Structure 1
Amino acid sequence: MTLRDLKPGQKGIVESLAEGDPSLLSRIMALGIVPGEQLEVLRDAPLGDPMQVKAGTTYISIRRVDSQLINIIPNV
């Protein structure tokens, strides 16, 4: 499951980051999205892109295409 699959209000733990552009993965990690971090999807933009995510105390807007690179373990 990836971050893209979560709906607003759902939470998950970052399991890993998929292979991709190293500079993009570096930027994602610099925002605090690292393995073991809990993420919460807050809302989707009116047209569906980007989505707003909370990582710790940081609010992040991330494109849906980039959210596919973040593998998640959903919180039940």
Structure 2
Amino acid sequence: MCALSELSTGLDARVTALRADHDFAQRLHALGLRIGRSVRVVRRGALNGPLQLRIGTTDIMLRRVDAALIDTDAIAPA
């Protein structure tokens, strides 16, 4: 298990926990980041910039400090 901010680029992972306050957790749910969903880090911004994430067919940008509040488990490649 690792935080989403630590996940390697290009790897798929499953969201296992959201360690955020209620309001921020609701925002993450609205963006599609829910427990059990798969997520992939597509790209990392330079100099600790934001992460580009792919959830299903949707891409979002998320600050690394916020991604650190999301726990994931890596999904083995098929």
Same fold (TM over 0.5): yes
Q: Give the number of aligned pairs.
A: 75
Partner of 1:41: 41
Partner of 2:13: 12
Offset at 1:21? 2.5
Instruction: Specify every segment of 5 or more residues in structure 1 that has no aligned partner in the other structure, as ranges.
Output: none
Offset at 1:68? 1.1
Deviation per residue, 1:13-68 (Å, 9 max, x gap): 011111x3221111111100001110010000122310000001110100000001
1:35 is paired with a residue whose SS is coil
Cα RMSD, aligned residues only: 1.0
Offset at 1:5? 1.1
Task: Give TM-score, length-normalised by structure 2.
Answer: 0.88
Partner of 1:64: 64
Runs of 4+ in 1 over 6 A off after TM superposition: none
Percent pairwise identity? 35
Instruction: Specify every segment of 5 or more residues in structure 2 that has no aligned partner in the other structure, as ranges.
Output: none
